[in-house]
Amino acid sequence: MANARGRPKAPLMLSPDERLYLERQVRRRRVARSLSERCRVILRCADGMPSKTIARELGLHEHTVGKWRRRFLKGRVDGLLDEARPGRPRTIDDDQVAAVIERTLRSAPADATHWSIRSMGAATGFGLQPHRSQSFKLSSDPLFVDKVRDIVGLYLSPPNRALVLSVDEKSQIQALDREQPVLPMMPGVPERRTHSYIRHGTTSLFAALDVASGFVIGKCYKRHRATEFLDFLKQVDARVPDGLDVHIVMDNYATHKTQTIKAWLSRRPHYHVHFTPTSASWINQIERWFAELTRKQLRRGVHTSTRALEADICAFIDRHNENPKPFRWTKSADEILASVKRFCQTTQRALCSEL
């Protein structure tokens, strides 16, 4: 009679030496994360845990667990190592890679706080990039999950007869003029500008992005108080077609939550506000448009007055709206939350191995 639960799995038994090796790799903080993860999979398989449970506990796909189980049964410990890939044969073996990683993470050169490509290359004969670092910040909002599901739902499945607007302000944009003329690009020579500059004041841009069409409504103000934000909301309201609900995605900035703003919104029941989680500006699509504004117009711009700066910003908005294109949101709420979960699990394992 066929097994209703699928094909029976071959038992996975470990010798004492194999278990000792796997446990040692898991405990070693400096081992490659991929190998440490594979060792955790095999240890749990040997303890009789189902693949679904292992996948859920380690943040993996069930097929990944099955793959490494099969690889181990076929090649034992060697089956957990990366297979040879096509192309030029490797000139550096795994032990050398592990030694360099160990040296990168546990030591520093005598004359610096960290290794660079050149200093590590001189010391070992080949280079890494230990000088690189990144920053991160996890939201501590207790309603993070609910807010992510709410806002991503608006992006992926907007309600009928409704306008979804991503709203925020880019404050304190500086009108900067270089102390000396910018030298133009020439063959073989990039554009050059002085690192020092002269400030000619600041402006603040309030903007609303129509998520469906990519159209942007924007206005510059000298200040960014609730008074200016209320005036901007009135500008937006004047351009909203009759009969539409308006869903506004914005952050928890104090300017957005004053009594004046709340009173204005309460008198318009067709307006619905969706606050982003704290420390999660990445979920607000207008931030992506602000990045385009900075890259294309502000970063290399030269402005001798705030009036000239505001004129260039308004011209950029007008050019954008001549052929607006919406940003395409690709990740579901479940995918985002699963990614955050994997990051937290990886960080927790790293911190636990540190102790």
Contact 284, 164 (CB under 8 A): no
Per the model's pLDDT, the better-predicted residue between 13 and 207 turns out to be: 207
Q: What is the pLDDT of residues 48-95, one digit of tens each?
A: 888 888 888 888 888 888 888 888 888 888 888 766 666 666 666 667
How is residue 166 written in tokens? Answer: 């991503």
Contact 274, 248 (CB under 8 A): yes
104: Cβ–Cβ under 8 A, 6 or more apart, which residues? 115, 120, 128, 130
Contact 305, 200 (CB under 8 A): yes
The pLDDT assigned to 4 comes to: 43
How is residue 231 written in tokens? Answer: 């005036």
Q: What is the pLDDT of residues 111-140, one digit of tens each?
A: 677 777 777 777 777 656 666 777 778 888
- Residue 10: Cβ-neighbour burial (10 angstroms; 0-12, 13-18, 19+): exposed
What one-letter code names the amino acid at 244?
Answer: L
What one-letter code names the amino acid at 266?
Answer: S
The pLDDT assigned to 1 comes to: 39
Q: Could you give the percent of the chain with pLDDT greater than 90?
A: 39
Model confidence band, residue 348 (pLDDT cutoffs 50, 70, 90): confident
**What is the SS3 assignment for 242?**
coil
The pLDDT assigned to 260 comes to: 92
The reported pTM is 0.64
Q: What is the pLDDT of residues 162-217, one digit of tens each?
A: 999 999 999 999 998 888 887 877 777 787 877 787 888 999 999 999 999 999 99
Per the model's pLDDT, the better-predicted residue between 180 and 282 turns out to be: 282
What mean pLDDT do residues 260-285 have?
92
The pLDDT assigned to 118 comes to: 77
The pLDDT assigned to 2 comes to: 42
